[in-house]
Each structure stands twice: as structure tokens, then as C-alpha cells.
Structure 1
């Protein structure tokens, strides 16, 4: 996969890339872009703004985020955009700098969904600062490798209190009748999860968020994972518990997601915005 990388709208320098390779302090979001628009863009922008303030003390702001995103995807019909925040002034020996982070945009071909169905194993693990989509991914990659080695497709995280939280790269939803039940635990609030929640009333389904213990998941009729590349994917088993997922109901869940219209990154009716897009 070949990516085009810009930092604050300019070609990436070797120094900036070296810092990214050696220091994993930062945050990011990533999503599919089609014709200059993305589903849940407002949520991705909010995620970046929150992370920038929490990790660096200052945010570039929505206008600047949009400008840099538009510059990155200009001239492309469909692509995958990753927007990362980092500061070359922050490192292992000098962590105290406060100020606006740099914005790295990486554009690559859109990846396929994770799978058409998955078997997962539950593992005790809690991501550091789980509410952030940060760059520290050692634990989740290690858990995913271990799950594959044990004959599963992926890993589902369970916290110290025995509560289901999230998967390695995804959120999980459980099906109970005509209701989707989301786990409540320290975790990353997924954009795709939020888009599904927005659209469920449009397809005749409801949702609820509550703590879900691993030892009670047998009460559910089905389960699925979701992330920006995979709106809905059935989970067929968790450990040795099998789910008989209802394909028609899961199609409704995906319809709830697809009913959320893509939001334009830049205002194409604005002459200045069009010039920034290079169109």
C-alpha cells in the first residue's frame, strides 16, 4: 500500500518521519473518503480536536483540519485518509512542551472490510487512555497476534471487572431481539458505532448502552463488530459460545449506518474552498 504523506500540508521531511518512527506520542483518526466527503466527519473532527487539547494543550481547529484534509485528498475520487497529530518538540527526554501539534495526513487506497465473519477470543486487556485513538498500539497488536496463533480471527478485550469493552480495531454490538446493546466500559467511542446509533430509529431498531459482563453474553441473540472500514461484520463465536446471527437484522444495522450521509470536507460552493481543493 503506497501512501502520500503531508505534514501541515507540505511534503514530509525525514526529520518529521524519524520522529514519528521513534516517538509514539500522539493521536489519529482514519476514514474512507469518497468525492471529497466522509461519513461521520463531524465526529472525526471532534475526536481530533479533543485529542489535540488533551495531549498537546492546543488544537489547530476545525477550519485548519478541514483545509489540510481537503488538500490531502484533492483530485481523488475514493481513498483512505489518516490524520495524525504529533509534536517534534515532545519526546522521551523532553515531554513538557505545550502547543499546537503538527498534522500529518496520509492518503492511501481504501482497504477492504476486515472480514465477512469472525471468531474471537476474549482476553483481559485495557488500552492505556482508552478514550483516545492514540498511537500506542503495541498491546492490541500483540493481542491480535496471540488470538490468531490460538486459532481465532481476533481478540475481544475484557477489563479488570470482567466487563466487555472493545475489540483490537473495532467496537462490538450485541443483538437482543430488536435492540442493539453496546457495552459500557473504558473504551474508544467509535465513529461507526455512533453513526449506527444515529440511524437505528430509521430502520426500526433501538439501542441501549450498559455494562456487559463476559459471563452473561449468552443471553444475546447475536453479535457484530464495526469500524470505519467494516460497518457491520457478524461475530460467529466468542471463545466457545456460538451466535446464530440474523442476517436480515444485521442488514438493517448496516442500513442504519449507510443512511448517514457523507459530509463534505470542504465547501465546494465557496470559491476559496474550491481553490484550496485544486479544482
Structure 2
């Protein structure tokens, strides 16, 4: 399913998005018409629309448009992309007419197998915005997969860990859940878990990985996913803290889309 402003999208309408790659989005897992953290997804869209286009986004309209992609029952992943089809490559400052593209895909069956990550030095452009510009993230993911891993884990030049390609990362040091203090996109699942479980926030470096008792990845599509490997470091795939966080996340009541 793909609709632009509530109507079937045409190829020419996507040309600008494909060629300029300027816009923002959010992806939501919808279970039986409800979304965990729906208000946080809407806040993200509102904030990013103001940052990229300098204009307010009608979130009630967005919800109406997204609802069209949702079946009466079951689970599905809905992506809302906001971009300006009239953007001029030479004058992006004139882009102020955001349109809403809604697409959907099947939802993953949870939980997913443990993730194996390869670290790479990279900090995303404007990390606070969930941008459609995924070139570098996909390039690093591809490289990691060619090297036998599942995905890339980003660090700065000093080895301070920030995030994965399309996911946040969390740690358990034996006493506390730890979220990395770094420039990254703060995901909705991460925010919900911060509300549900006591935690610390501090810099985490690659050198700290061997001392961690458990590591996990989070995003709206997969919830909480164990991380079993970072570079040459092996981490247990199962741990009571990962089970507890997964249950706490699944227990978050969904908001009606």
C-alpha cells in the first residue's frame, strides 16, 4: 500500500523524493489498530517537520491518512514519510509544502533472533532528525553483512558508541540498564523503555563491551532484540534483563491510531 495525501501515489510524485532524498519519517508497528508510543511518533513528526520545512504538521490528518493503511486486525508496519514534492535542489530553503506519504509492509514475527553487530566509525548527519537520507546507514550495514555480521554499530572517533543503523542500543552492566550518552536519534521504543525501567545514561565505549552482561537493540518494528556479538566480543543471547525489558515493552498499552 502506498498513498500520497490519501490517494494512490504516482511515480512522478516520488521523483523528487528519490532524487533529492530530503524529508523525514517515522515507522510504527500497528497491532490490532493500536500503536505503542503513538503520541511520541506524532511528536517526532511534528518536531522534524518544523526542523526541515519550518511549518506545522497536522497530526490528526496524519493519523487519518495512516489509518487507511491498517487492516481491521493483525499486525502491520506503517511508515509515514513527509517530504515536499516541489523541492528545488538549488533552493531547498523554499521547501515549505510537506506532503504525507503512507506506505505499509508486513510486520516481523517477534522476537527476532539475536543480532550480530560490527562497529564502524560514523555519526549521522543531524542525528536528532529521523531523516530519509539512509545512504550511509545502508552502506555500513551492507559492509557489515559482507563481513559476516547482521548490521553496523556506530561509534565516534574515540570509540564512544551511539546507535545502530536503524536502532538504538542498550546495555546491562550487571547492576543497571545503561543507555549510551552520545549524539543519536532517540527512538520511540527507547523512550518507552526509559519510562518503564530504571536506567543510567553515560558514555559507553567499545572497550566496555567485554564487561557487559547483556546488550540489546530496540526499535518500533522489532521491540527489544538481543545482541549476541559486537566485533569479536560474544555476549549471551539470553538474559533475564532482556526478557524483562521485552515484557515491559510488550505490556505498554497501545494507543488507538
Same fold (TM > 0.5): yes
Stretch deviating more after TM superposition (9-18 or 68-77) = 68-77
* d(CA) in 2 for partners of 1:187, 1:167: 9
Whether contact under 8 Å (1:57, 1:100) holds in the other structure is no
What value does the CA root-mean-square deviation take over the aligned residues? 1.8
Shift of 1:114: 8.4
Deviates more, 1:182-191 or 1:240-249: 240-249
Gap runs ≥5 in structure 1 = 201-205, 266-279
Which position in structure 2 is the counterpart of 1:102?
99
1:141-171 Cα offsets, whole Å, 9 max, x none, are 1111111111222111001332100011211
Q: CA deviation at 1:224?
A: 1.0
Q: Are residues 237 and 78 of structure 1, via their aligned partners in 2, closer, same or farther at CA, if it must alter by over 3 Å? A: closer
SS across alignment from 2:57: coil
Q: Is 2:225 aligned against 1:228?
A: no
What stretches of structure 1 move > 6 A for 4+ residues in a row? Answer: none
Larger radius of gyration: 1
TM-score, with length taken from structure 2: 0.93
Structure 1 match to 2:170: 173
Match of 2:248 among 256, 259, 274: 256
Alignment map for 1:59-138 (pairs within 5 Å): 59-73=56-70, 75=72, 77-112=74-109, 115-138=112-135
Gaps of 5+ in 2: none
- Structure 1 stretch displaced more, 239-248 or 154-163: 239-248
Query: Quick one: structure 1 residues 153 and 181, their matched pair in 2 at CA, closer, same or farther if it must change by over 3 Å?
Result: same
2:6 to 6, 9, 18: 9
Change (3 A) 1:233 1:74: closer
- Identify the residue that residue 52 of structure 1 maps to in structure 2: 49
Stretch deviating more after TM superposition (14-23 or 44-53): 14-23
CA distance in 2, matches of 1:244, 1:107: 34
